[in-house]
Structure 1
């Protein structure tokens, strides 16, 4: 029975972590998932832990972990090829490609061609059941099209993003290299 339960208990007893995170906290921090921008939107306020001395907003690691779990549970309800993952930003392209390679999701890397979801005459048209975007601002075309046809949108959001037409938010650093 050991496994995760005993790990949670031993870490809790040591006073280091009260709840087990999906990944060790030091790995999350070294990856910089908690680093936001110097801008915050009202939508992102619940996910902000503090403001650093240099003005950067810092995201709450526990809330990031919680939202990743919720998103994973939500996305697991869909067949992998019916999940479209988009990456317009240069630094999102490799992670989204890797995500799609590992999960079997459909990658949309680079420019999101208008009509990719909406135009039945477009030969490269895709028909996903859910869209995962790496940045709501950069992937706005994907969000617009998904919204028009009622497809849920899951978005990786930094402190400067708003939630317009996003159904599920995963707070994280979506600007990092």
Structure 2
């Protein structure tokens, strides 16, 4: 029940206005304004299937790729906590197939945050007979995807799904905070800082004795003459 409330609060069940024919099985209804609603039961079933990540003995054999900013925090924080290998930014062709490359990786399991933007990593993973898990929206293609995790491309959605998938252990809530997996827009952060600096200053913020009398000076005294050479 707690995970279901987090799922709804993050808006993971809200799909997009477009629908791929391979994703019709996961839709429960469509709203009047055209947005598709993802079935929560289907998402939970796929999350349980994604537990195959626990069968990987070496955490470095699990690679997590992202090509969009919302997936940055959702990937770097869990991989730092679990020891998985993050692949940030643009994916170089041949990283999983060409052993001559210095940055060659042969992952046993690949997690992709966006199968449309990052279609080439799990395509190469299929050449190496590696399993691939993808976070899919209603318009995402399912080519070369073994396990589909249903969610949208929002910042809170990607962060919450990676948390529920088991990448972060719930036994250590003080060491790993799930809120760090959510992407924060730099523009919104700068706006909050600007609002904090423009806050009007009140008298209560200045400590001290405001009842002290000012120093009396004798302004009637004649000025002293200055000597010049």
What is the TM-score normalised by the length of structure 1?
A: 0.82
1:68, 1:56 → 2: CA distance? 23
2:103 matched to 1:113? no
2:28, 2:116 → 1: CA distance? 23
Deviation at 1:145, TM superposition (A): 1.0
Gaps of at least 5 residues in structure 1 are 1-20
2:105 matched to 1:126? yes
Q: 2:25 aligns with which of 46, 63, 67?
A: 46
1:25, 1:145 → 2: CA distance? 34
Gaps of at least 5 residues in structure 2 are 156-229
Deviation at 1:118, TM superposition (A): 1.4
Q: Which residue of 2 aligns with 1:135?
A: 114
1:24, 1:134 → 2: CA distance? 20
Kindly provide the CA deviation profile for residues 107-138 of structure 1, in whole angstroms up to 9, marking residues without a partner as x.
01111111111121211111211111111111
What is the TM-score normalised by the length of structure 2?
A: 0.64
2:41, 2:77 → 1: CA distance? 25
Deviation at 1:25, TM superposition (A): 2.5
Q: Which residue of 1 aligns with 2:141?
A: 162
Kindly provide the CA deviation profile for residues 35-79 of structure 1, in whole angstroms up to 9, marking residues without a partner as x.
11101112111111211121111111122122111102x111113
1:80, 1:49 → 2: CA distance? 35
2:25, 2:98 → 1: CA distance? 37
Q: Which residue of 2 aligns with 1:64?
A: 43
2:54 matched to 1:76? yes
Deviation at 1:103, TM superposition (A): 2.1
Tell me: CA distance 1:167–1:24, structure 2 relative to 1, closer, same or farther (3 Å): closer
1:145, 1:24 → 2: CA distance? 33
Q: 1:93 aligns with which of 69, 72, 83?
A: 72
Kindly provide the CA deviation profile for residues 120-170 of structure 1, in whole angstroms up to 9, marking residues without a partner as x.
121111121111111111111101211112111111111001211111111
2:53, 2:44 → 1: CA distance? 15
SS of aligned partner of 1:76: helix
Kindly provide the CA deviation profile for residues 76-95 of structure 1, in whole angstroms up to 9, marking residues without a partner as x.
11132111111011211110
1:26, 1:154 → 2: CA distance? 23
2:81, 2:32 → 1: CA distance? 38
SS of aligned partner of 1:137: coil
Please tell me the root mean square deviation across aligned C-alpha atoms, in Å: 1.3
Kindly name which structure, 1 or 2, has the bigger radius of gyration based on alpha carbons: 2
